[in-house]
């Protein structure tokens, strides 16, 4: 007879202590400069979808990243510059020469050969990556891309994307969120964050963290893009990917909870979550 769900949860779950959270929270030290707090490269956005990249980059900055570069299709550089003055916009053809501590790719990129080629190149570089949205769909479609995954990767699927990555139905994924996240992380050799109620964070060695912040109002367009930016922003500041993944998910949910208190759950939008990231950080010290 298999173990009951409660027993499995007790065995798999890793609780974060306040001291563990505080180790990852962004800090500023006297005598330092922007280069000391991580260089994040965001590959996100396409024609009609630049907003996704703007959300990712703003979230990375709000969580403390020192420098954020935003790579967009060459013809959209001038338009992207209008979204935010706080990031440096570069064309896709400059990605290979960019020095970055971590790269986030996928939101709003489009499911096309250009995105596929960029993702293939980034995987081959072995640089730390956060892979989300359209890049996840490409992984599900292309076994060669999936085979190139490595230990310095965080995957951030929602249930629909996880269904595609596992060739299961969404209902099957939701029925066994812990088990499926744990198994897929081990199979792919990456960290997997299965988003949704009680977001699951699993690593390739069998560790599991089940998050308890967040609310239904965060089920809104762009919320996942915010999480992607936060993960990259934290990891870019020198934290290991497992710690950045857990604390990023925790702070994302907490920022959403604080925003919901102001706006209410039905009217919550992704930008509201970003604006409460600093408050979530301060509340966690």
Question: How confident is the model over 2-16, as a mean pLDDT?
Answer: 52
DSSP element (H, E) containing 193: strand 191-194
Tokens describing residue 75: 């013809």
Angle 191-197-201 from CA coordinates, rounded to 5°:
15
Domain that holds residue 110: 5-21+32-284
Residue 184 lies in a domain: yes
Report the CATH number that the domain containing residue 192 is assigned in CATH.
3.40.1190.20
Residue 118 has pLDDT above 60, yes or no: yes
Residue 248 lies in a domain: yes
Helix (H, G, I), strand (E, B) or coil at 155: strand
Residue 199 has pLDDT above 80, yes or no: yes
- What does the pLDDT read at residue 38? 95
Residue 179 lies in a domain: yes
- What does the pLDDT read at residue 183? 97
- What does the pLDDT read at residue 4? 46
Question: How confident is the model over 237-265, as a mean pLDDT?
Answer: 97
Residue 26 lies in a domain: no
Residue 223 lies in a domain: yes
pTM of the complete model: 0.94
Residue 27 lies in a domain: no
* Of the candidates 99, 98, 147, 101, the residue with the CA atom closest to the CA atom of residue 120: 147
Cβ contacts of 245 within 8 Å, gap of 6 or more = 154, 191, 193, 201, 203, 209, 231
Residue 277 has pLDDT above 90, yes or no: yes
- What does the pLDDT read at residue 18? 81
Pair type for strands 88-91 and 67-72: parallel
Give me the number of domains the chain comprises: 1
Q: How confident is the model at residue 15 (pLDDT cuts 50, 70, 90)?
A: low
List C-alpha distances in Å: 229 to 28, 56, 170, 194. Answer: 19, 4, 25, 16
> E strands along 15-133, which residues?
39-43, 67-72, 88-91, 102-105, 129-131
Residue 3 has pLDDT above 50, yes or no: no
CA dist 242 and 234 (Å) reads 11
Residue 46 lies in a domain: yes
Question: How confident is the model over 116-139, as a mean pLDDT?
Answer: 98
- Which string of DSSP letters, residue by residue, matches 198-238? T-EEE-TTS-EEE-----GGG-STTHHHHHHHHHHHHHTTT
DSSP state of 13: B
When the pLDDT of each residue in the chain is averaged and rounded to a whole number, the result is: 94
pLDDT, tens digit (0-9, with 9 covering 90-100), for 32-70: 999 999 999 999 999 999 999 999 999 999 999 999 999
Residue 172 lies in a domain: yes
- What does the pLDDT read at residue 6? 46
Q: Cα–chain-centroid distance for residue 259?
A: 19
Q: How confident is the model at residue 8 (pLDDT cuts 50, 70, 90)?
A: low
């Amino acid at each position: 007879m298999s173990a009951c769900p409660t027993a499995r949860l007790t065995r798999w779950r890793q609780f974060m202590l306040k001291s563990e959270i505080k180790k990852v929270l962004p800090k500023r030290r006297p005598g330092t400069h922007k280069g000391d707090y991580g260089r994040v490269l965001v590959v996100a956005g396409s024609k009609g979808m630049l907003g996704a990249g703007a959300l990712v980059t703003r979230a990375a900055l709000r969580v403390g990243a020192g420098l954020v570069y935003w790579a967009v299709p060459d013809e959209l550089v001038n338009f992207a510059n209008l979204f935010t003055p706080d990031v440096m916009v570069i064309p896709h053809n400059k990605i290979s020469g960019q020095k970055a501590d971590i790269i986030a790719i996928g939101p709003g990129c489009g499911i096309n050969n250009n995105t596929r080629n960029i993702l293939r190149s980034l995987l081959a570089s072995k640089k730390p990556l956060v892979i989300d949205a359209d890049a996840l769909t490409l992984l599900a479609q292309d076994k060669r891309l999936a085979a190139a995954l490595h230990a310095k990767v965080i995957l951030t699927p929602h249930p629909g994307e996880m269904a595609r990555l596992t060739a299961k139905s969404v209902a099957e994924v939701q029925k066994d969120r812990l088990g499926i996240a744990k198994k897929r992380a081990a199979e792919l050799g990456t960290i997997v964050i299965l988003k949704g109620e009680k977001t699951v964070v699993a690593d390739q060695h069998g560790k599991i963290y089940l998050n308890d912040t967040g609310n239904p109002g965060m089920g809104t367009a762009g919320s996942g893009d915010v999480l992607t930016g936060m993960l990259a922003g934290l990891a870019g500041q020198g934290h290991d990917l497992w710690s950045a993944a857990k604390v990023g998910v925790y702070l994302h949910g907490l920022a959403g909870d604080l925003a919901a208190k102001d706006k209410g759950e039905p009217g919550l939008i992704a930008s509201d979550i970003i604006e409460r990231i600093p408050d979530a950080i301060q509340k966690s010290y």
